[in-house]
Amino acid sequence: MIIVNVKENESIEKALKRFKKKFDKTGAVRELRARQAFTKPSVKRRDQVIKAAYKQRLQSEAEK
């Protein structure tokens, strides 16, 4: 459970912004979306390999 203490003389907007930042860090929304549909382990692995190759290609281009 996420708890955000509202300080004295603090606006609700700032407290809400802190809450949203904490909520994003937990990754609840990402996990919920991932659980909506089952993905096979082989597909997950393939996606990871493709993503790693893409990152590596970007990094090598930046070094040139």
Considering the domain boundaries, does residue 51 fall inside one? yes
* 27 assigned to some structural domain: yes
**What is the reported pLDDT for 29?**
93
Separation CA 18–CA 23 (nearest Å) = 9
Q: Residues 43, 46, 47, 53: what is their CA dihedral angle, to the nearest 10 degrees?
A: 180
pTM for the whole structure: 0.56
Q: What is the pLDDT, as a whole number, of residue 63?
A: 87
Q: What is the mean pLDDT of each run of 10 residues along the chain (64 residues)?
A: 91 94 94 94 97 96 86
pLDDT of residue 1: 86
Assess if residue 38 is contained within a domain: yes
pLDDT at residue 64, rounded to an integer: 77
Q: Which domain holds residue 25?
A: 12-63
> What total of structural domains would you count in the chain?
1
Judge whether 20 lies within some domain: yes
**Euclidean distance between CA atoms 58 and 56, whole angstroms:** 5
